[in-house]
Amino acid sequence: MHKVHNFSAGPAILPQQAIDAGVEALKNFADTGLSILEVSHRSKEFVAVMEEARATVKKLWNLSDDYEVLYLQGGASTQFLTVAYNLLNTRASYVDTGTWSSKALKEAKRLGQVEVIASSKDRNYCYIPKGFEIPEDSDYLHITSNNTIFGSQYHAFPDTNVSMVCDMSSDIFSRDIDATKFDLIYAGAQKNLGPAGATLVVIKKEILGKVSREIPSMLDYNVHLSKDSMFNTPPAFPVYVVLQTLKWIDQQGIESIEKRNLEKAELLYKEIDNNELFKGTVDKEDRSFMNATFLLNDESLTDDFMNACKEANISGIKGHRSVGGFRASMYNALDLDSVKALVNVMQTFK
């Protein structure tokens, strides 16, 4: 079987060693003689997985015990609501940089005053707003670090005293950041972290307990914190594969992963800029290093280009309908060779 170059936007390519470890755990988990699918989440073997998965996030980001790590269900879409339930008292400020930011603020609006303090909607989200004012009395500022659909990314985060909340679903652990700039970070696992079905939440504990509303148990961060992510049965297998992915990230080192991600992105964007058949959709300074969105100048060539990609075993590059054209998602586990294969098709196509 030829290698598939997997540019899927999510669920997306994972390190082979994480998948291989998943296979082994399906067959015989931690030498229990049972599959990880049929072992109690209260068993010492699974509790150890959960603890290591929480600890590894803190290690990777060098976080003090002021922060705690949760593994929940429901994806970022559930966090859109949960964040507001737990943190929105008077008013919250949101930056709207695409589909997911818009959805996040839509859910928060049900619970209080939400102000869109900056937006790139005017140009179909092809840039990241900068230099906006952040009202000092905001309960929090919500941003989306990388916009999977539109292909833009913050390359510098706002400087503010307001508590920052960030949806990092599509670029978490792709680069060296100071996570302590944020009071809450959340991410659906299914891009850089692992399989669909697990959601990572990292919280600075002191921000909780400041709203007066009653919070349903499953949406209450304090409930989940008090039970070490085991208030109800966690998504055991997805969390297990997340742990294997985190271990791979730790072995590689985030700096080395960032370096490789830069190399991949530069190679592809160089071709997009130099190849007269194509054009990028995002302002150069705000281009995502994870999701590169680009168009054919002559749309009638779309099917031919898709076929050429298919012949080269390139998968998952059809663009989202909101942007059209193509999207190459280059998450951590994607090899430089896969980007070279795509660039090669683009050159040959010319």
**Residues labelled catalytic:** 100, 167, 191
Alpha-carbon span 329 to 191, nearest angstrom: 9
Least distance (Å) between residue 215 CB and its own copies: 9
| Residue range at the interface with its own copies (CB under 8 A); choices 128-136, 261-269, 283-291, 308-316 | 308-316
Sketch the per residue contact string, 47 through 86, with its own copies: x for CB under 8 A, - otherwise: --------------------------xxxxxx-xx-----
Range 152-211, binding its own copies (CB under 8 A): 188, 190, 194-198
Q: Does 266 bind its own copies (CB under 8 A)?
A: no
Between 140 and 331, whose beta carbon lies closer to its own copies? 331
Q: Which two tokens stand for residue 163?
A: 């508590």
Of 35, 180, 307, 347, which lies in the binding site for its own copies, with binding defined by CB under 8 A? 35
Q: Does 101 bind its own copies (CB under 8 A)?
A: no
Residue whose entry in the numeric block shows the structure tokens 């586990």: 333
Q: Are 196 and 188 in contact (CB under 8 A)?
A: yes
Alpha-carbon span 349 to 71, nearest angstrom: 44
Q: Does 10 bind its own copies (CB under 8 A)?
A: yes
Alpha-carbon span 56 to 53, nearest angstrom: 5
How many chain residues bind its own copies (CB under 8 A)? 63
Is residue 225 helix, strand or coil?
A: helix
Strand partners of residue 72: 199
Burial (CB < 10 A; 0-12, 13-18, 19+), residue 231, is middle
Of the candidates 186, 5, 229, the one whose C-alpha atom is nearest the C-alpha of residue 220 is: 229
| Residue range at the interface with its own copies (CB under 8 A); choices 100-108, 125-133, 143-151, 284-292 | 100-108
Q: Does 297 bind its own copies (CB under 8 A)?
A: no
Q: Which two tokens stand for residue 257?
A: 């992963």
Least distance (Å) between residue 222 CB and its own copies: 15
Alpha-carbon span 189 to 249, nearest angstrom: 14
List residues binding its own copies (CB under 8 A). 1-4, 6, 8-14, 19, 22-23, 26-28, 32-35, 37-41, 73-78, 80-81, 103, 106-107, 110, 188, 190, 194-198, 214, 216-219, 231-238, 241, 313, 315-316
